[in-house]
Chains A and B, each alone.
Chain A
Amino acid sequence: MYEFFEHTADIGIKVKAKTLKELFQNAALAMFDIIAHKLPTTQHLSPKSKTYIIKQEADTLDELFINWLNELLSLSATKDLIFFDVRIHKLNDKNLQATVAASPVENYELNTEIKAATYHGLKLKRNKSDWQAEVIFDV
């Protein structure tokens, strides 16, 4: 779903997807995959999931991408939740609307704290048949 690229102090990832919506989804899920893994002992439990509607606005697609990821990080940190499902309903260069589902942090083993997604080295591009993003997280 995603691969790491080398960065001295932080974590860089490369994400690919068929559509732009999927790219935003995959990047968000990759981010939470770095942050936490579901504890095997809680695998059988049905997650007490909470859903949120996220709306973001920005002037450019790059900005929207970074705002989206940082909004999820911030929400996850304040509510003690890990997001495991993401559905993007509406997405253009300036607006995003999504429904995200999260489960309590106690069901997870936390691996890495991501402080933020950064603009440094950010690449969002459309290839012939897919989309690709490169983003560096401050950890």
Chain B
Amino acid sequence: MSELWQGPLEKIDDYRWRIPKSYKPGMRVPGIIYANEKLLKDIRYDKAAEQVANVAFLPGIVNASLAMPDIHWGYGFCIGGVAATDPDNGGVISPGGVGFDINCGVRLLKTNLQFEEVKDQIKELVYALFSDVPAGVGSKGDIRVSSKEEKEILVKGARWVVEKGFGTEEDLECTEEYGAIQGADPQAVSERAYDRGKSQSGTLGSGNHFLEIQVIDQLYNRDICDGLGLDLGQIMVMIHSGSRGLGYQVCDDYTRSMVHCLGKYNISLPDRQLVCAPVNSPEGKAYLAAMKCAANYAWANRQCLMYLVRKTFERVLAMSWEKLGMYLIYDVAHNIAKIEKYKVDGSEKNLCVHRKGATRAFGPGNPALPARYQKIGQPVIIPGDMGRNSYLLVGTEKAQEDTFGSTCHGAGRLKSRTAATRSIDVNVLLKELEVKGIMVKASGRGTIAEEAPQAYKDVNEVVDVVHNAGISKRVCRMRPLGVIKG
């Protein structure tokens, strides 16, 4: 990036930095960025911090415009951004605060396989997954549904997939919102959005979306690991995907129409990609109802993908998925807006929490969690880059107090895709990964360069910050063995 961001970043403590409200006239609250000294240096290299300040302009924003340590430059909101607005106080909802890939998210499955048992079959598994799971730009799935069924999917989410026989009740219990957020209205979704999502159910997509076979290489909390049935050397599978074309079109449709809300509701913003409408306005309600449809579509999609993964493992290892112990740990959304209850100035309020590249991180005892996670808190899944690590964390009460129950969502990009492509030799990279015991299969070689480890921040640093700041706790760490990229 040519010029460094010159704005103020005041140290609050070792892990939080404030952009004061006085930085820009129009900011309603300060900005707070979670980072350590090391990560902070990189933050000035792009315009993400300016975006944190811009989000502070949103009407009804509560406490602060927040950014997690995987913060980087996005469009409108920064990636890693969290903003809660109060609908009773003119609070708005912004499609740009969710993004085009609505409910892009991650799910993590365990297996009862140990690395030593299957290390010679990883290659076969990777090839089989690459052939069985549709991936890549514009990929189409084998799952064909009628338009009536498509509408059902938008309301029932992952439950629709389970009812078709591609999963279990337990899968739904281990999915944020039980795989279907309430209040989805298919009428709020345009025909174009249906068309754009059609035949993409059960497809991974491209870009940073992936499917990985991983192995647990470090335990941080033995009690929680025991409770979840996790141990060193255990094989895990991680799936990263979203709402595909349907979500993009919902965001496009509502960004287009909400441009007119700025004048109508007298809203002044420094960036039009933050266009928004009051949560309680007809436009705000319609967007929320449509966004929920796209979110449910994404949960259905990840449920389909998990089904395909289980089938592939069954085929290659000649054993049922139940015998292989392929149970879902959890599925989290990291691009979404939710109505959630928080204490503001001593009284309980329903707030509209935007998470743009941030993960919900509810602590123990939160009523939104299933019985099995009431004691430990919500599992939080943090994918890293293809050469380093991924993490399983749990949410905390402190996150509910400090960050509207939110934490980071990944490593966060450091280099642009063009810079990565320029500086990375794909053959050398693949060799380096092979030496580390990581096998990569991708539909396009371009994706491999764009998604190279060097293009990302060190996820270990990012997780250090959220752990030490107390907004989530480390449970265990995985390293990749096999990577399937779109």
Contact = CB atoms under 8 A, between A and B. Distances in A.
Interface in A1-51: 4, 6-11, 35
Interface in B57-81: 72-76, 79
B207 A120 contact: no
A111 interface: yes
Contacts of B255: 116, 119
A6 B321 CA distance: 45
Interface stretch (A74-82, A83-91, A92-100): A74-82
A7 B260 contact: no
A2 B47 CA distance: 23
A120 to B, nearest CB: 4
A63 B273 CA distance: 11
Question: Which of B46, B136, B196, B413 is packed against the most chain A CB atoms within 10 Å?
Answer: B196
Contacts of A120: 74-76, 271-273
Contacts of A126: none
Given A77-B196, A113-B207, A8 B136 contact: no
B95 to A, nearest CB: 10
Given A7-B416, A8-B416, A59-B259, A111 B446 contact: yes
A138 interface: yes
Nearest to B195: A78
B73 A7 contact: yes
B196 A8 contact: no
B206 interface: yes
B137 A110 contact: yes
> Which secondary structure dominates chain B's binding surface?
loop
A21 B417 CA distance: 29
Contacts of A4: 418
Interface residues of B, number: 47
Interface in B195-219: 195-196, 198, 205-207
Contacts, number: 103
Contact of B136 (A9, A110, A121, A138): A110
Given A8-B415, A9-B74, A120-B76, A112 B137 contact: yes
Contact of B418 (A11, A110, A115): A11
Interface in B234-293: 245, 248-249, 251-252, 255-256, 259-260, 271-273, 275
Given A8-B416, A118-B273, A111 B444 contact: yes
A74 B252 contact: yes
Nearest to A110: B137
Nearest to B275: A119
A139 B207 contact: yes
Contacts of A105: 138
A121 B137 CA distance: 26
Given A62-B272, A111-B446, A74 B196 contact: yes
Contacts of A63: 259
Contacts of A118: 75-76, 96, 273
B283 to A, nearest CB: 16
A2 to B, nearest CB: 12
A132 interface: no
Given A4-B418, A8-B415, A138-B100, A112 B196 contact: no
A133 interface: no
Nearest to B209: A113
Given A6-B419, A8-B414, A9-B79, A111 B73 contact: no
A83 to B, nearest CB: 14
A102 interface: no
B354 to A, nearest CB: 16
B73 A8 contact: yes
B1 interface: yes
Contact of A59 (B2, B260, B418): B260
Nearest to A9: B413
Given A77-B196, A110-B138, A115-B100, A11 B417 contact: yes
B192 interface: yes
B273 A77 contact: no
Nearest to A75: B192
A77 B199 CA distance: 11
B458 interface: no
B101 interface: yes
B48 interface: yes
A115 B248 CA distance: 6
Contacts of B72: 8-9
Contacts of B100: 115-116, 138
A6 B272 CA distance: 20
Contacts of B138: 77, 80, 105, 110, 113
B196 A78 contact: yes
Question: Which of B47, B72, B418 is packed against the most chain A CB atoms within 10 Å?
Answer: B418
B73 A9 contact: yes
Contacts of A67: 256
Contact of A119 (B251, B272, B413): B272
A120 B74 CA distance: 9
B256 A70 contact: yes
Interface of B: 1-2, 46-48, 72-76, 79, 96, 99-101, 136-138, 192, 195-196, 198, 205-207, 245, 248-249, 251-252, 255-256, 259-260, 271-273, 275, 413-419, 444, 446
10 contacts: A9-B79, A74-B249, A80-B138, A111-B137, A113-B138, A113-B207, A115-B101, A116-B252, A120-B271, A138-B75
Given A8-B48, A112-B206, 15 more contacts: A6-B2, A8-B415, A10-B75, A10-B417, A59-B259, A74-B252, A77-B196, A78-B192, A78-B195, A112-B207, A113-B138, A113-B207, A120-B76, A138-B75, A139-B417
Q: Give the top 5 A-B pairs by smallest Cβ distance, nearest first.
A: A120-B75, A119-B272, A118-B75, A110-B137, A78-B195
